Amino acid sequence: MNQVTVYCFVSPFPTQETTHIINSAFQSVGKVKITDPVKGYVLCRYKVSAFRTIKVEFFVERSDTVCKVRAVIHGEVINRARDKWWDNYLSSTFSLYPNVDFGVSLANKHPLVCGVLFLGGETEQVFTSYTTGGTSLTGFLVGGALFGGTGAIVGGLSGTQHTYGKSREQFADTQLMRIIYNNGRIWEGRVEKNSSMYQEIMVNMH
């Protein structure tokens, strides 16, 4: 089964320039195979070992004010290694455009939970935590279907703490969530309500 990991960020530039930025930044960490500035698509390969590479696809979608970029990584790599490689890619991007806010920051070994979308039944509650450094995804989310795919939703990071949506009592032992980390990684799954991750999320919400 093909393992897929999704990272997202935003770009204030048009689709073609954003595609060029992705192309240029990726060349320092891997190989670019296809670049289509018109469609906003970049296909790359990243060398994991001497015998194995993983595929990385970038999809650029233009909204009213920014381009939304979704990076889909195909291949089985542990999260820590994936985040380290992604930090290398982001560092390359930040070096090329040091004064541009791409809405994400480096994980530095320990990515932080910045946004949570609670899912299930009639409940839809979006939580965005306070974040330092002026990071902003400029209202990137709201509602449930930004990129139209499981694990590909981004919560808006506005720099202030707020709650959006409606909620009802939950009686299950687990909660289905979409989580965004400060480096743009998206995770979706069920979190045990007695787990340390769930407690951390609930404490930060209040």
What mean pLDDT is predicted for residues 88-111? 91
159: tokens are: 């720099």
Residue 58 is given by DSSP the state E
> pLDDT band at residue 14, thresholds of 50, 70 and 90?
very high
> pLDDT band at residue 127, thresholds of 50, 70 and 90?
low
How confident is the model over 156-191, as pLDDT tens digits?
Answer: 333 333 334 444 444 567 777 778 888 988 887 788
More confident residue, 65 or 129: 65
Distances in Å between the Cα of 151 and the Cα atoms of 24, 142, 177 are 26, 15, 10
- C-alpha to C-alpha distance for 52 and 78, rounded to whole angstroms: 14
Residue 87 is given by DSSP the state H
The model's pTM: 0.74
DSSP states of 104-153 as a string? ----TTS--EEEEEEESTT-EEEEE---STT---SS---SS-SSSSTT--
Phi–psi pair at 174, nearest 5 degrees? -130, 160
Q: From its phi and psi, is residue 193 left (phi > 0), alpha (psi between -120 and 50) or beta? A: alpha
Report helix, strand or coil for 73: strand
Q: What does the CA dihedral 180, 182, 185, 190 come to, rounded to 10 degrees?
A: -30
What is the rounded average pLDDT for all residues in the chain? 74
> pLDDT band at residue 26, thresholds of 50, 70 and 90?
very high
Predicted local distance difference test score (pLDDT) of residue 204: 60
Strand order across the 162-166 sheet: 31-36, 41-47, 53-62, 67-74, 4-11, 185-192, 174-181, 113-119, 124-128, 162-166
How confident is the model over 29-81, as pLDDT tens digits?
Answer: 999 999 999 999 999 998 877 788 889 999 998 877 888 899 988 877 777 78
- C-alpha to C-alpha distance for 203 and 206, rounded to whole angstroms: 5
Predicted local distance difference test score (pLDDT) of residue 125: 52
Predicted local distance difference test score (pLDDT) of residue 122: 44
Maximum average pLDDT range among 23-27, 80-84, 98-102, 142-146: 23-27
Residue 163: in which H helix or E strand, if any?
A: strand 162-166
